Amino acid sequence: MYRALNFNAGPAALPEEVLKEAEKSLLNFGNTGMGIMELSHRSKEYQAVHDQAITRLRRLLAIPDDFEVLFIQGGASLQFSMVPMNLLGKDQAAHYVLSGSWSEKALKEADKIGETVISASSKDQKYSFIPKYSQDEIPDNAAYLHITSNNTIYGTQWQSFPSNKKTPVVADMSSDILSRPLKVDQFDLIYAGAQKNLGPSGVTVVIIRKELLKRSSEMLPVMLNYNTFANNNSLYNTPPTLSIYLLSLVLQWAEQIGGLEQIEKANEMKAKMLYDVIDESEGFYIGHAHKNSRSRMNVTFNLQSEDLSREFQKQAKEAGFVGLGGHRSIGGCRASIYNAVPEHHVEKLAAFMKAFKNNN
């Protein structure tokens, strides 16, 4: 069967093995006579799927016991609001590091809830690098420090994370969770929309230190309170059952191919292929991100003119490549090379880029 050369930023490519396994369950899951999406979320069959997804995530990421794993709907965009609603106290300020459009949106929502502070920003440099911030300037009573670990639009990524923190660290990891080993206990809350590396759209994973759950006010709407999900194993209402099933299959696939260490090596190799083409093109391809901030998930670049960029995308589409246009807010080109994008697809893109340069 034909499979597109899929470089979409999200929803993104899923492992072919996962899709084939899921296909078997669409009509008859576990001899129930029902498809996986038809099962009651209160059934023992679905309960096993749900619990297995949590177990696999805990195992892959080595999540400590003092953290809860929650499945929430609404995407990372809802977390922009839920984080300050649950964690931002009356006489506190939430600190944000601005490294791209998604951190801007997170800040905008927090501004509606309480006091915020911009601890660092690279906006004046078109978000071409991860800004440095001073931990000494964050007061002891700060509610939390919010970062976005990978910036899909601008192609930048944190290479290392805050340490020796005085305040809780919250990270939006929607676009690079599961792409490399992670010390979960460096953070206090991690959230991630699934549609990049974890699975399909429809479910958002929240990993939260149990101690932080005490901050959530009982006056919050029930579906905006983290305790609702923590106290009910994320089954207070009907969860996105199909998305969670597929997420569990993706986690199983990640374990089978060697876990996060092996995935990191593959991601490094794929990113190097494309960055080498950019760096060796003598200015034909112009990378957006500074080299010390480059993302392994989203390779962003421009060509020497808009006309050339349009021609590149036109010919790429004719050659079978999908999703190489830059985000509508900044234009240019972008190749999203998440975990499930096969290495040979990236090899084909690198070869196409070299050929296009030689012909133009």
The token pair that represents 290 in the structure block: 């500074």
Laid out side by side, the sheet with 333-336 consists of 285-287, 298-303, 333-336
Residue 350, SS3?
Answer: helix
Closest by alpha carbon to 235, among 358, 98, 60, 71? 71
Strand ranges (E), 16-160 = 67-72, 93-98, 115-121, 144-148, 150-151, 156-157
Q: Judge whether 292 and 308 are in contact, CB under 8 Å.
A: no
Contact 115, 123 (CB under 8 A): no
Whether the bond into 11 is cis, omega within 30 of 0: yes
Select which of 102, 158, 176, 188 is catalytic.
102
For β-strands 169-172 and 144-148, DSSP reports them as parallel
Give the active site residue among 172, 176, 188, 270: 172
- Kindly name the residue from 176, 188, 196, 270 that is annotated as catalytic: 196
Among this protein's residues, is 253 annotated catalytic? no
> Is 65 a catalytic site residue?
no
Establish whether 102 is a catalytic residue. yes
What residues act catalytically? 102, 172, 196
